[in-house]
């Protein structure tokens, strides 16, 4: 049995097939809404700014203007739904 590489899984004939990985985006919080788990963010793509909703665990410590990085969704349909943030949240209000 052969060992698998870090970035792939073994496909037909023992060839590694790379996993799909989303682009790392730098997001900036533009609004913390009334929903206790959502923040509205913006990111730059080429010359335009795009807005997305991000599902964080608790938005109590998130503030407008905070900047963080996360991987964008891989599928086309996932852009319409809120993005899932799986990283560590801020320890203090407004401090990143």
SS3 14: helix
Tell whether 90 is covered by a domain: no
| Phi, psi angle pair for 47, to nearest 5° | -100, 0
Q: State yes or no: pLDDT of 5 exceeds 90.
A: no
Give residue 14's pLDDT. Answer: 63
Tell whether 37 is covered by a domain: yes
pLDDT band, very low/low/confident/very high, at 19 (cuts 50, 70, 90): low
Give residue 78's pLDDT. Answer: 76
Tell whether 5 is covered by a domain: no
What pLDDT, in 10s, does the model give residues 25-79? 899 999 998 899 999 999 998 899 999 999 998 999 999 999 999 998 887 777 7
Tell whether 9 is covered by a domain: no
Are 72 and 23 in contact by the 8 Å Cβ rule? The answer is yes
The count of structural domains within the chain is 1
CATH classification of the domain holding 50: 2.40.50
Owning domain of residue 65: 22-84
Tell whether 2 is covered by a domain: no
pTM: predicted TM-score of the whole model, two decimal places: 0.72
Tell whether 75 is covered by a domain: yes
Distance CA 85, CA 92 (A): 18
Distance CA 89, CA 66 (A): 11
Tell whether 59 is covered by a domain: yes
Distance CA 5, CA 59 (A): 37
Tell whether 28 is covered by a domain: yes
The alpha carbon dihedral of 22, 28, 34, 36 has a sign of positive
């Amino acid at each position: 049995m052969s060992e698998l590489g870090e970035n792939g899984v073994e496909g037909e004939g023992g060839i590694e097939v790379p996993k799909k990985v989303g682009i790392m985006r730098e997001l900036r919080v533009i609004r913390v809404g009334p929903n206790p788990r959502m923040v509205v963010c913006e990111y730059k793509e080429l010359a335009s700014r795009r807005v997305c909703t991000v599902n964080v665990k608790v938005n109590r410590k998130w503030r407008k203007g905070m900047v963080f990085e996360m991987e964008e969704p891989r599928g086309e349909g996932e852009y319409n739904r809120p993005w899932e943030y799986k990283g560590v949240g801020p320890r203090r209000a407004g401090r990143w």
